[in-house]
Structure 1
Amino acid sequence: MKRYFVTGLLIWVPLGITLWVISTLVGALDSLLLLLPDGNRPRDWIGVHIPGLGVVLVVAILLLTGLLTANILGQRMVRFWEEILNRIPVVKSIYGSVKQVSDTVLSDSGNAFRKALLVRFPHGDAWTVAFLTGTPAPELACQLDGEHVSVYVPTTPNPTSGYFMVVKKSATIELDMSVDEALKYVISMGVVAPGSKANGDAPCKQLSPNLPG
């Protein structure tokens, strides 16, 4: 009975959590429709509430915004809007910081989360998965000897919180796995091993035999 019960949990728990996350996300996006003026909401036109219209609205706005700002005129409008925001004292700091992070993480030309690394953390005898985020700022690099890199060490099972560290490049091991595989590995607390089904019997590949001790 215990084995059957656990097997049932393994089937329903992931499905239930998935449905709960999707339902919460759809509900949050549908709540944006309440910002529309009375009489102009989809429920006023149709007569009934249709779940998911908020998702369609957000996707349409994002696509339309991307389409309008992809040309020279749209880019000039964005720069003009950013100049206005940068003149507002408090908004300037918040908007500038968020934009730098979003440009780095979401841009195809950025270096953030492009590689999965193995670094020593939280002490010299332990290892953890980290993600390359770039190179240290000049103010930091000039204080350090040798080549260093900036890495982000996510926490488990919530990778949105973690630690930012500057470490020697020679003290890192570049892993032969994609960023998505590494994130799944971290979120699953090491249970879901990357490529474990495809090449579970493959010999271990030594990626950095000359790593300093």
Structure 2
Amino acid sequence: MKQDKKIQQYLLTGLISIIPIYLTYWIIKNLFLFFSGPGGIIVGLFLPDFINQNFEFGGITLLSILQKILGFILTIASLYFLGLIISNVFGKKLYKLFESLLEKIPFVSKVYKSIKQITASLSGTNSKAFQKVVFVEYPRKGLWTIAMVTGETLDDKDEKYYNIFVPTTPNPTSGYLLFIKSTETKKLNLTVEEGLKIIVSGGMISPEKLNINE
């Protein structure tokens, strides 16, 4: 019986040890493939065919390797120069012109605006996104949840409500939108980044003490 428990413990320890390594590999691999795709299509048009014919190992051609590596570099370089162009006055005007054209297309405009709001919230470019971290009694009394204040709303009696986003664990890009009286929340002594770390880690990364302001 003790031997079985030891075997289970060793297996669990091995599994816990390998999961971070595998997930790191999986994320880096998929990010690389994602970014190498657009540039790889362009690079593939210019690479000579003889590379594909004469160099092959295990079903992987030198052409495909070069295409992915050069495609990744080209995509990253293109994103850098795009950001550089949009950062200047002329680039901003062109970007706003392009946005105004998108916003005139009925269905596309709604999709674009929604995605833009999400990316702005995640990147922190929107000054009103994730203003502070609070405790809310949700989903029932006695249970407390970390949430982000994204805005404020007044009712017809001028009573202040918080627009609350409750992220899910471990993926904070999805969650629930709640409207709660500001008096029914408790402010935490956490920055938005610290709050997100707690959520993403499932509580494994958290301060020893939380200062809760009523």
- In which range does the TM-score fall when normalised by the shorter chain? 0.7 to 0.9
Task: State the percentage of identical aligned residues.
Answer: 30
Q: What amino acid is aligned across from residue 127 of structure 1 in structure 2?
A: W
1:158 to 168, 171, 193: 171
Correspondences of 1:137-148 after superposition (within 5 Å)? 141-143=154-156, 145-148=158-161
2-side partners of 1:22 and 1:158: how far apart?
17
User: TM-score, with normalisation over the residues of structure 1?
Assistant: 0.77
Correspondences of 1:38-187 after superposition (within 5 Å)? 39-40=45-46, 48=63, 49-50=65-66, 51-108=68-125, 110-136=127-153, 141-143=154-156, 145-187=158-200
2-side partners of 1:189 and 1:108: how far apart?
25
Aligned-pair RMSD on alpha carbons?
2.9
Q: Which has the higher strand share?
A: 2
Q: What amino acid is aligned across from residue 90 of structure 2 in structure 1?
A: L
What's the counterpart of residue 17 of structure 1? Answer: 23
User: TM-score, with normalisation over the residues of structure 2?
Assistant: 0.76
1-side partners of 2:72 and 2:43: how far apart?
18
Deviation at 1:98, TM superposition (A): 2.4
Question: How many residues are aligned here?
Answer: 197
SS of the residue 2:130 aligns to: coil
2-side partners of 1:207 and 1:174: how far apart?
6
What's the counterpart of residue 7 of structure 1? Answer: 13
Deviation at 1:127, TM superposition (A): 0.7
Deviation at 1:63, TM superposition (A): 1.5
2-side partners of 1:44 and 1:102: how far apart?
43
Deviation at 1:145, TM superposition (A): 4.8
Q: Deviations over 1:38-96 (max 9, x none)?
A: 52369998953145444433322222112112222111111221222222222222223
